[in-house]
């Protein structure tokens, strides 16, 4: 066999081995990355539902959480408003092991996906430790400014949070009563109900929201809890009356850090 044929075969074999090694490195890198992101066992700490059905637990003292939430609301069937994206950035901080504060800025309205949509500030307090009562109670007080019909409406809201864990299931009920600060009658009460399973790892949930005549919907969601105190929540919901969004898509990314290292 001529020498140049032997050299060509050797070169082809070397190239083949290099490609296999590169492929193997890529596979190993992907495996390590997936293991780094693989859902971890979740600690017993505050973990609200995707669309802000609040739970009994609060942030641990000194813990900070940063969240980005995005929602697409399809309102094509009501003929009153257009479909739009609504986004918000929020931060939470544990003042004590039973009291926390939260603030939020939002943008995205039917008029424009980039239009300022208001702000939100809340203080929440839980009573006792989880399981101390038959139903775990918490209360919250909120100030909210939200754009509606082209103008910002300001409200103060009181909220009762009732939560119960039964095995790996969590059930949570929120009842809120807003009070208008810039005229108009007293807004109607708001109700939210959520069920989530299981307590750890990949979790599934469903929320029922009755916030206004044109804001009634059901939102199933899945939650992934990653290493480094990060989580991802995704859901697709459906309005349950003619004036609510035909459907909505929601996603949330949360990162938590700080607190006690005990």
Within this chain, do residues 131 and 26 fall inside the same structural domain, yes or no?
Answer: no
State the first-to-last Cα distance of the chain, in angstroms, to the nearest integer: 72
The answer to the question of residue 56 being in a domain is no
pLDDT in tens, 69-122: 999 999 877 666 678 999 999 999 999 999 999 999 999 998 888 999 999 999
Distance CA(248)–CA(30), nearest Å, equals 32
Contact at 8 Å (CB) between 159 and 140? yes
- Residue 177 has a pLDDT of 95
Torsion sign across C-alpha atoms 46, 49, 51, 52: negative
Distance CA(123)–CA(156), nearest Å, equals 12
Question: Residue 101 belongs to a domain with what CATH number?
Answer: 2.40.160.40
More confident residue, 244 or 31: 244
The answer to the question of residue 28 being in a domain is yes
DSSP symbol at 62: T
The domain tally of the chain equals 2
Within this chain, do residues 208 and 100 fall inside the same structural domain, yes or no?
Answer: yes
- Residue 258 has a pLDDT of 85
- Mean pLDDT over residues 160-174, rounded? 95
The answer to the question of residue 185 being in a domain is yes
Within this chain, do residues 30 and 67 fall inside the same structural domain, yes or no?
Answer: no
The answer to the question of residue 51 being in a domain is no
Within this chain, do residues 79 and 142 fall inside the same structural domain, yes or no?
Answer: yes
Confidence band (pLDDT; 50, 70, 90) for 32?
A: very low
Which stretches does DSSP call E strand in the chain? 63-74, 84-94, 99-107, 116-126, 136-148, 151-166, 169-180, 190-197, 203-212, 215-226, 230-239, 247-258
Secondary element (H or E) of residue 31:
helix 3-37
Q: What is the CB neighbour count within 10 angstroms for residue 2? A: 7
- Which residues form the domain of 31? 1-37
Tokens standing for residue 261: 């290292």
Within this chain, do residues 29 and 78 fall inside the same structural domain, yes or no?
Answer: no
The answer to the question of residue 43 being in a domain is no
pLDDT in tens, 185-217: 778 999 999 999 998 889 999 999 999 877 899
Bridge partners, residue 42, by sequence: none
The answer to the question of residue 44 being in a domain is no
The answer to the question of residue 47 being in a domain is no
Within this chain, do residues 94 and 185 fall inside the same structural domain, yes or no?
Answer: yes
Within this chain, do residues 170 and 99 fall inside the same structural domain, yes or no?
Answer: yes
Contact at 8 Å (CB) between 179 and 189? no
Within this chain, do residues 8 and 69 fall inside the same structural domain, yes or no?
Answer: no
- Residue 213 has a pLDDT of 77
Within this chain, do residues 32 and 67 fall inside the same structural domain, yes or no?
Answer: no
Within this chain, do residues 189 and 234 fall inside the same structural domain, yes or no?
Answer: yes
Phi and psi at residue 37, to the nearest 5°: -90, -10
Tokens standing for residue 77: 């069937």
- Residue 25 has a pLDDT of 56
Would you say the pTM of this structure is higher than 0.95? no
Within this chain, do residues 145 and 250 fall inside the same structural domain, yes or no?
Answer: yes
Tokens standing for residue 117: 């949509």
- Residue 80 has a pLDDT of 61
Residue 148, Cβ density class (10 Å: 0-12 exposed, 13-18 middle, ≥19 buried): exposed
The answer to the question of residue 207 being in a domain is yes
């Amino acid at each position: 066999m001529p020498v140049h044929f032997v050299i060509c075969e050797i070169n082809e074999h070397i190239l083949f081995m290099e490609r296999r090694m590169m492929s193997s490195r890529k596979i190993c890198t992907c495996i390590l990355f997936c293991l780094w992101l693989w859902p971890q066992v979740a600690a017993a700490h505050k973990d609200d539902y995707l669309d802000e059905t609040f739970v009994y637990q609060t942030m641990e003292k000194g813990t900070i959480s940063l969240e980005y939430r995005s929602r697409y609301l399809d309102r094509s069937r009501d003929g009153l408003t257009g479909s739009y994206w609504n986004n918000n950035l929020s931060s939470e901080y544990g003042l004590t092991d039973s009291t926390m504060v939260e603030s939020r800025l939002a943008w995205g309205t039917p008029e424009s996906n980039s239009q300022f949509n208001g702000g939100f500030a809340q203080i929440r307090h839980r009573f006792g430790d989880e399981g101390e009562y038959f139903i775990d109670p918490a209360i919250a007080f909120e100030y909210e400014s939200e754009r509606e019909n082209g103008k910002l409406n300001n409200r103060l809201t009181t909220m009762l949070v009732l939560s119960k864990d039964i095995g790996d299931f969590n059930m949570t009920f929120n009842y809120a009563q807003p009070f208008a600060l810039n005229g108009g009658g007293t807004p109607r009460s708001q109700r939210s109900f959520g069920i989530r399973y299981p307590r750890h790892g990949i979790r599934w949930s469903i929320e029922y929201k009755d916030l206004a005549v044109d804001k009634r919907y059901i939102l199933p969601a899945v939650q992934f809890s990653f290493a480094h105190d990060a989580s991802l929540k995704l859901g697709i919901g459906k309005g349950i009356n003619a004036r609510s969004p035909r459907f909505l898509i929601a996603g949330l990314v949360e990162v938590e850090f700080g607190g006690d290292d005990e």
